[in-house]
Amino acid sequence: MRIFSAFAALCGLQATLVVAENTTWPWQTFKSSPHEPPSLKISKSGLTSPGYLFFDQSWSAHEYSVFIMSDSNELVWQGPPGDLKGFRVQKLDGKPVLTFFNGLGVPEPFGWGYGIVQVLDESYQSIYNVSVINDNYKALGSIDSSSFVSWIDMHENTITSDGTMLVTGYNVTQADLSSVGGPKNGWIADSLFYEIDVKTNEILFRWSALDHVDQIPLEHVQPFYPIKDWGHNSSSPYGYFHINSVDKFQDGTYIISSRYYCSLFKIAKDGSVDWTLQGQTGGDFELNEIKFSYQHDARIHDETENAFILSIFDNANSDVQNGTDHTEGIFMNVNLLTREVSLVRTLQDPQDEIFSTSQGNTQLLPENHVLMGHGSNPKIKEYNASGSCVMTAQFGFDDVISSYRSYRSPWVGVPKTLPDVFSCIDQGRNRTNVYMSWNGATEHKQWKVFGGATRSNLSSVAVARKTGFETLASIKGKLGYVQVEAHGLGIQKSVSKVVPVQSGC
């Protein structure tokens, strides 16, 4: 697509992407647009936070892409095709932007990616492409990396208040695995994270798990991710750490989540490990009413000098251990003075027990609402302040379709693309049907329809209230050509191309 300058450059990455099309979960189709988003199965039992739903879909999805949709199952915007992850609204220079990973996702049992992070403005123009180009990376041995334009992984794309972005990377490299029963000249998938200047791609901070095995020993991961037959070659490296989120403290230090250590690590400014919060033993902390494992999406809230609230998406399941504990969102108080971690709240739907084996996130919303995306289970749930599930939106069958993360946010979209229109004659009723849509537009409220016998002689024939992503206007008689205009308060009108009317609907 024209507006995605990085997408064409990633064709080499996309070439190896295999999509097993799901033919059972329903999707939507339109006359005026080629987009085919999933049909959301939505149930609501209470008030939800304002804003749209933002999510990606992959695995056996009908279309690999990112979507903005409403609680009423209306498409707002569908992105380009591709293996896109971590789609959400963030702020850069005080303005809302869209961010997502665009590249190649390597499926389980590896579960990482290679690509860029795109930053889009309110008109869906790609304004920055965040990338890591030169850092001595080696890809998984079974992948041809000759056309790679960047090595950023899919797991993180957080914009900080300093206008920087936190991202992750996976480097297949050699390492001595003899201490855990593996080969001395073995292979691992090293986990890295970076802080990068969004506008210049300058690397401001770099951290590698392999550089800190003295503080994070391989022996500590064995109960949760045993080495088994991993690590004998570059096509089956031992992905022991599996970093899946990075967040930043006010003092400039970081907290990172390791899926297979079932741990969260505080990383100092010099790269050393300040402390470990382990989900089963506590690590450097005492756990009060809390256990977690194989977690994702560790986020800092309400930070003070000696404590902070930490939220995680507790998968409690993985490819190693599955079906034993249900998945839930956890908010915990981390006391840095007493080294105690206490439960604040847990979130799970007792009417719909979920066991997510991968991915997922927990998003804190206004008024203490929480949105949870369930990764390998294609469900989005919102909880109110009392912990009750007030909405479920499902877009596929469990373990068939996945979504790396899901979010809710207000959004104003003002696309620079033109509205789309399709028209055809309903012969039996002697009417001209006009179908209108404008991918990504949120502010227009009505459509003006112009028609006539020839392309150069159009006049106003109808005004129609916008009724969703696609609006239908049915006009008496048979027109030869039509054109539509989108109108709304405070926005510049946008006019479609003039199109010929098709002979039959």
pLDDT (tens digit, 9 = 90+) per residue, 360-405?
999 999 999 999 999 999 999 999 999 999 999 999 999 999 999 9
Residue 441 in contact with residue 398, Cβ under 8 Å?
A: no
Question: CA distances (Å), 6 to each of 13, 150, 386, in order?
Answer: 11, 11, 43
pLDDT at 174: 97
Beta-strand relationship, 286-288 and 296-301: unpaired
Question: CA distances (Å), 273 to each of 189, 254, 265, 331, 354, in order?
Answer: 20, 10, 7, 23, 33
With vertex at residue 409, the alpha carbon angle to CA 403 and CA 411, rounded to the nearest 5 degrees, is 115
| Dist. CA 451–CA 457, nearest whole Å | 8
pLDDT at 22: 60
Question: Of 265, 271, 264, 322, nearest to 296 (Cα)?
Answer: 264
- pLDDT < 50: residue spans in the chain: 1-20
Long-range contacts of 323-331 (CB under 8 A, 24+ apart): 323/355, 325/293, 325/355, 326/353, 326/354, 326/355, 327/354, 327/355, 327/356, 327/360, 327/374, 327/377, 329/362, 329/370, 329/372, 329/383, 330/290, 330/292, 330/362, 331/301
For 416-449, the DSSP string reads SSPPEEEEEEEGGGTEEEEEEE-TT--S--EEEE
What is the side-by-side order of every strand in the sheet holding 389-394?
Answer: 41-44, 389-394, 379-383, 370-373, 361-364
pLDDT (tens digit, 9 = 90+) per residue, 424-436?
999 999 999 999 9
Question: CA distances (Å), 486 to each of 30, 119, 289, 344, 498, in order?
Answer: 18, 26, 55, 48, 14
The separation between CA 443 and the C-alpha centre of its own chain, rounded to angstroms, equals: 24
pLDDT at 17: 37
**Average pLDDT of the chain?**
94
| Dist. CA 81–CA 437, nearest whole Å | 19
DSSP run (H or E) holding 8: helix 5-9
Q: What is the pTM of this model?
A: 0.95
Residue 313 in contact with residue 361, Cβ under 8 Å?
A: yes
